[in-house]
Structure 1
Amino acid sequence: MKILLALMALSAMAFGHTTTLESGGFSSGFLHPISGLDHILAMVGVGMLAYASARKGAVLLVAFMGAMVVAATLGFAGVEFAYTEEGILLSIAVVFALIGFAKKISMGAIVAIIAFFGMFHGFAHGAEFQSGSFLAYMAGFSTSTLLLHISGIALAYAYAKTAMKKQTQLA
């Protein structure tokens, strides 16, 4: 019972979206993706997937970020987008599942999936913006997103190096 209560108390930390709207410029946008575990996991996962795909991984980063910026603009403009939080949470599971199959699925399919989920993240960013410079805000969350992607690439690289070292020691 204590574990259940602890998990329920921590569950709010998993979402980067509250009923409060974003305001400000670059710094507010920069902090948005790193303020919720949902964005952190998905964006680091995209970086890990880019490394694991071993085929033009940068295309995945561009697809995610491009779709994210387009959807953020739509969210800012007031366009409705259904199931945003569900899409963000599903993106985490799908992105990490794709890591294991990155070399077996066509790059076109992976890019389409990543862009699709990038829209959910972008919409959440744009729909929550309230005042200030939206362009500065977008520059902030785009920069933060790119840094999270690069962190994922670095994490996957470090893991691959460690795994190769252990394999060599066992041989």
Structure 2
Amino acid sequence: MKILLALLALSAMAFGHTSTLESGGFSSGFLHPISGLDHILAMVGVGMVAYASAKNGYLLLVAFMGAMLIAATIGFAGVEFAYVEEGILLSIAAVFALIGFARKMSMAVIFFIIAFFGMFHGFAHGAEFQSGSFLAYMAGFSTSTLLLHISGIALAYIYAQTAMRKQTQLAK
């Protein structure tokens, strides 16, 4: 019971989106994706899927970031978008499920799924912006997002190399 209460108390930390509005420029945008576990997991996961898909994995980064930037602009314009937080949370499960199936699925299907969930993340970024330079803010969260994607690629690479070493050792 104590563990359940502790998890419930800490659950708000998992969300990168609160009722507070974002303001500022590049630094505010840069910090936004790394301020919530939901963004970190999804964006690192996209990098891992890009690595796991092997061929043309970089296109998945383009899909996520492109959809994210378009949706951020829509959110900034004040357009309503339903189920943003739910979409962000679902993106984590979907992206990590894709890691295991990336080599078995069509790149077009993976591209669509990654872009779809990138929209939720982008919309949240744009809708929460309040004042300052929106272009600088977008440049900040795009840079941070790309770094998280690259971290996911690096993490997947390290994991693959470690797994290969263990298999080689077991074969000897």
Interval containing the TM-score (normalised by the shorter chain): over 0.9
* Partner residue in 1 for 2:73: 73
Q: Report 1:1-171 matches (<5 A).
A: 1-171=1-171
Q: What secondary structure does 2:32 align onto?
A: helix
Amino acid at match of 1:165: R
- Per the TM alignment, residue 55 of structure 1 is displaced from its structure 2 partner at its CA by 1.2
- Per the TM alignment, residue 9 of structure 1 is displaced from its structure 2 partner at its CA by 1.1
2-side partners of 1:37 and 1:117: how far apart? 16
Aligned length: 171
What are the ranges of 5 or more consecutive residues in structure 1 without an aligned counterpart? none
Q: What secondary structure does 1:159 align onto?
A: helix
Deviation string, structure 1 residues 110-137 (Cα, Å, up to 9, x no partner)? 0000000000000000000000000000
- Per the TM alignment, residue 4 of structure 1 is displaced from its structure 2 partner at its CA by 0.5
- Per the TM alignment, residue 151 of structure 1 is displaced from its structure 2 partner at its CA by 0.1
1-side partners of 2:169 and 2:13: how far apart? 40
Runs of 4+ that moved beyond 6 A: none
Q: What secondary structure does 1:130 align onto?
A: strand
2-side partners of 1:107 and 1:166: how far apart? 29
1-side partners of 2:41 and 2:21: how far apart? 22
Amino acid at match of 2:61: L
- Per the TM alignment, residue 144 of structure 1 is displaced from its structure 2 partner at its CA by 0.1
| Identity level (%) | 88
What are the ranges of 5 or more consecutive residues in structure 2 without an aligned counterpart? none
1-side partners of 2:99 and 2:141: how far apart? 24
1-side partners of 2:99 and 2:144: how far apart? 22
1-side partners of 2:76 and 2:55: how far apart? 34
Considering only aligned residues, what root-mean-square deviation do their CA atoms show, in Å? Answer: 0.3
Q: TM-score, normalised by structure 1?
A: 1.00
Amino acid at match of 1:130: Q
Q: TM-score, normalised by structure 2?
A: 0.99
Q: What secondary structure does 1:110 align onto?
A: helix
1-side partners of 2:69 and 2:130: how far apart? 16
